[in-house]
Amino acid sequence: MALDTAHWYIFGRTRSAFERFKDGLKTLGVYSAMLENKEFFLKIMCHHDNPITAENIKGAFRPVLHTPGSSKRSTENLILCLWENFIFEAEDDDSDVLLEIILFFSTGLKSFPPLDLRPSPTLCFLHDPEESGELSKYPKANTCTNRLYLPIVHTTYQDFKSHMVFGIGASEGFGLS
């Protein structure tokens, strides 16, 4: 009885909606084209996880930069170089942090969605001091707005990397495994 109930819950209650969808596809001959070209429509109609690469992460996050020539902009350019080195190094199997973890820290997602990230992810810079009066050494993120805040206090890659790895690793999973 439990098996029948589960089967109905998963398949039976959605059957009429599925049939209406199928009838709509038949109207313009799309349904028969789908049956003839299953491989093509499988890519369109079904989600497949896109591999997370450093290029994908770099392309997804748009930096919010100050005016060219300003002192803040030159600092941001340095941090952007460190950021790119960091994500390209994270692509290696023996990295201290994985690209999937960086994406999860920044957006709350474990993979890129099929269409696009909304809102579009941005890279911001932590120019303002914290309550202690000091600039943050660690990254911050707002997963509701897909905004990653990078610390600007680091001048060497090793310093930047160690604080990024610690900041991202210390917050992994929002307390969830």
Tens-level pLDDT at each residue, the chain (177 residues): 788 787 777 777 888 888 898 899 898 888 898 889 888 888 777 767 778 999 999 999 999 999 999 999 999 999 999 999 999 999 987 888 899 999 999 999 888 887 778 899 999 999 999 888 999 999 999 999 999 999 999 999 999 999 999 999 888 665 544
d(CA 109, CA 103): 6
Supply the CATH number for residue 113's domain: 3.30.2410.10
Please check whether residues 59 and 144 belong to one and the same domain.
Answer: yes
Please check whether residues 62 and 141 belong to one and the same domain.
Answer: yes
**Amino acid 157: pLDDT:** 96
Largest CA distance in the chain: 72
Please enumerate in sequence order all residues whose Cβ is within 8 A of that of 22, keeping only pairs 6 or more positions apart, or say none: 31
Q: Tell me which residues are annotated as active site.
A: 144
DSSP state of 141: E
Please check whether residues 22 and 74 belong to one and the same domain.
Answer: no
Please check whether residues 144 and 68 belong to one and the same domain.
Answer: yes
Please check whether residues 8 and 68 belong to one and the same domain.
Answer: no
Please check whether residues 35 and 65 belong to one and the same domain.
Answer: no
Domain range for 71:
54-175
**Amino acid 3: pLDDT:** 82
Please check whether residues 161 and 83 belong to one and the same domain.
Answer: yes
Please check whether residues 17 and 76 belong to one and the same domain.
Answer: no
pTM beyond 0.85: the answer is no
Whether 152 contacts 80, CB under 8 Å: no
Total number of domains constituting the chain = 2
**Amino acid 177: pLDDT:** 44
Whether 58 contacts 103, CB under 8 Å: no
Please check whether residues 59 and 40 belong to one and the same domain.
Answer: no
Please check whether residues 110 and 137 belong to one and the same domain.
Answer: yes
**Amino acid 82: pLDDT:** 97
d(CA 155, CA 163): 12
d(CA 41, CA 27): 17
Q: At what angle do helices 99-107 and 157-169 cross, to 10 degrees?
A: 60
